[in-house]
Amino acid sequence: MIYAIGIIGFIFGFIFGQFFLLFLLRHKTKEELLNNKQIRYTYGLLNWVIAGLCSYGLIILYQQYFI
pLDDT in tens, 27-51: 999 999 889 889 888 899 999 999 9
Distance CA 35, CA 8 (A): 33
**Selection from 16, 19, 25 nearest residue 43 by Cα:** 25
Which ranges of the chain would DSSP assign to H, the alpha helix? 2-24, 30-35, 37-66
Distance CA 33, CA 8 (A): 29
pLDDT at 67: 78
The answer, yes or no, to whether residue 21 has pLDDT greater than 90, is yes
